[in-house]
């Protein structure tokens, strides 16, 4: 058994308490039942109701649990079908970036026709916004159509509900910034898929001058299973060129991006295949910029890439780009996001729209 086949999560078995676990194909290894030696901090962490305490212990503890899976006793293994997957981390903070050049360009043109698609600062720093951590939910949670001001003074259910296909990075252990870019990977526990559901009519009314607010803060969905960053070592690639040259704190000695093939399925039909390799800003650059002012990164923080879109038709990461407002999500629609890097399948994100 190798780390490539395992993913972190939290499950309930038979109505029991939530507990850390690792998914291994169609079975689950309960971390509390593994042979982990006599470290009291680790023993407490694998019995906690979320992964935050384990994340806080750092990479040596994460690897100790993964290594113990190789000789897992039979009592540790249960069928995936007998488990209820929970939100794996208590989300302490949520930042959503705007890291795809193609998406930012497409969306700028849609929201601000006749004006420059990108702000002047876009090529100089990763731009993001703080989302509402308490509305991050686990995959398969229904998506309730939100109310909002769809026109100034007009409160109504959104008529332009959209999806956003993103990569997310679960962070920790805690550290006060600045985090050096070449050490950023030490603060990425693992990778998830994220759907940052968006009410486009609400967003259009409210986004200036301070950016996204109620048009996005109603719900964000993430994978139940977190892929260890080490499992994606084979998916690391050289990032796309950046022009103009970025500031020194955003220059890594050995820069890397992730080559993850994504797909968006709507009601059983794949409608787009966004390429994560096309992201302009890298995960390390996002963390370096997020903390350059001294901000604290906390175990359980979720940092997302923003919508990922490619340069050709059929690679758009949102319906706004794909269908230009001719079709939005309807009640009863089911959206599934999937991602694969070689043989590594990331945890899917699923959601059905309800009234």
Choosing from 85, 109, 144, the residue where a domain stops is 85
Q: Do residue 349 and residue 294 come from a single domain?
A: yes
Strands (E), 65-216: 77-79, 83-85, 94-97, 128-130, 136-138, 143-144, 147-151, 154-157, 161-162, 165-171, 175-176, 188-195, 198-199
pLDDT score recorded for residue 1: 42
Provide the residue range defining the domain that includes 41: 3-85
Task: Name the token pair of 75.
Answer: 């009592």
pLDDT score recorded for residue 4: 63
Residues known to be catalytic: 103
* 132-153: average pLDDT: 97
Mean pLDDT, rounded, of the chain:
96
Q: Do residue 101 and residue 74 come from a single domain?
A: no
Q: Do residue 139 and residue 253 come from a single domain?
A: yes
Q: Do residue 107 and residue 66 come from a single domain?
A: no
pLDDT for 55-103, tens place per residue?
A: 999 999 999 999 999 999 999 999 999 999 999 999 999 999 999 999 9
pLDDT for 224-250, tens place per residue?
A: 999 999 999 999 999 999 999 999 999
Task: Name the token pair of 97.
Answer: 């970036």
Choosing from 68, 85, 102, the residue where a domain stops is 85
CB 87 within 8 Å of CB 334: no
Q: Do residue 81 and residue 100 come from a single domain?
A: no
DSSP letter, residue 240:
P
Q: Do residue 24 and residue 117 come from a single domain?
A: no
Q: Do residue 219 and residue 259 come from a single domain?
A: yes
Q: Do residue 118 and residue 260 come from a single domain?
A: yes
Rounded CA-CA distance 102/95 in Å is 20
Q: Do residue 60 and residue 198 come from a single domain?
A: no
Q: Do residue 22 and residue 163 come from a single domain?
A: no
Choosing from 85, 115, 137, the residue where a domain stops is 85
Q: Do residue 8 and residue 109 come from a single domain?
A: no
Bridge partner list, 285: none
Rounded CA-CA distance 190/246 in Å is 26
CATH number at residue 266: 3.90.850.10
Ranges of H-type helices in the chain: 40-45, 52-57, 59-68, 101-111, 200-206, 283-291, 319-323
Q: Do residue 136 and residue 62 come from a single domain?
A: no
pLDDT for 265-281, tens place per residue?
A: 999 999 999 999 999 99
Q: How many domains does the chain have?
A: 2
């Amino acid at each position: 058994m190798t780390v490539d086949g395992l993913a972190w999560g939290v499950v309930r078995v038979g109505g029991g308490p939530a507990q850390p676990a690792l998914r291994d194909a169609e079975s689950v290894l309960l971390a509390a039942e593994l042979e982990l030696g006599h470290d009291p901090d680790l023993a407490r962490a694998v019995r906690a109701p979320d992964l935050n305490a384990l994340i806080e212990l750092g990479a040596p503890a994460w690897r100790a649990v993964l290594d113990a899976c190789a000789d897992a006793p039979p009592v540790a293994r249960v069928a995936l079908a007998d488990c209820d997957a929970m939100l794996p981390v208590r989300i302490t903070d949520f930042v959503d970036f705007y890291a795809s050049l193609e998406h930012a360009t497409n969306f700028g043109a849609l929201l601000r026709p006749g004006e420059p698609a990108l702000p002047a600062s876009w090529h100089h720093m990763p731009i993001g916004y703080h989302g509402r951590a308490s509305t991050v939910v686990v995959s398969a949670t229904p998506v309730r159509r939100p109310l909002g001001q769809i026109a100034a003074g007009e409160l109504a259910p959104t008529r332009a509900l959209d999806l956003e296909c993103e990569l997310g990075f679960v962070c920790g252990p805690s550290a006060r910034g600045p985090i050096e870019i070449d050490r950023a990977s030490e603060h990425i526990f693992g990778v998830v898929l994220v759907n940052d559901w968006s009410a486009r009519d609400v967003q259009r009314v409210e986004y200036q001058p301070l950016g996204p607010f109620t048009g996005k803060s109603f719900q964000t969905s993430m994978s139940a299973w977190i892929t260890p960053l080490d499992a994606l070592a084979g998916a690391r690639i050289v990032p796309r060129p950046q022009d103009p040259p970025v500031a020194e704190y955003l220059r890594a000695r050995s820069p890397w991006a992730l080559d993850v093939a994504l797909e968006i399925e709507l009601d059983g039909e794949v409608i787009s295949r966004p390429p994560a390799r096309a992201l302009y800003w890298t995960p390390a650059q996002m963390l370096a910029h997020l903390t350059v002012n001294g901000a604290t990164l906390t175990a359980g923080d979720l940092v997302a890439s923003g919508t990922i879109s490619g340069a050709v038709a059929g690679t758009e990461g949102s319906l706004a780009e794909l269908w230009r407002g001719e079709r939005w999500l309807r009640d009863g629609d089911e959206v599934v996001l999937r991602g694969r890097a070689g043989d590594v399948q990331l945890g899917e994100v699923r959601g059905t729209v309800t009234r």
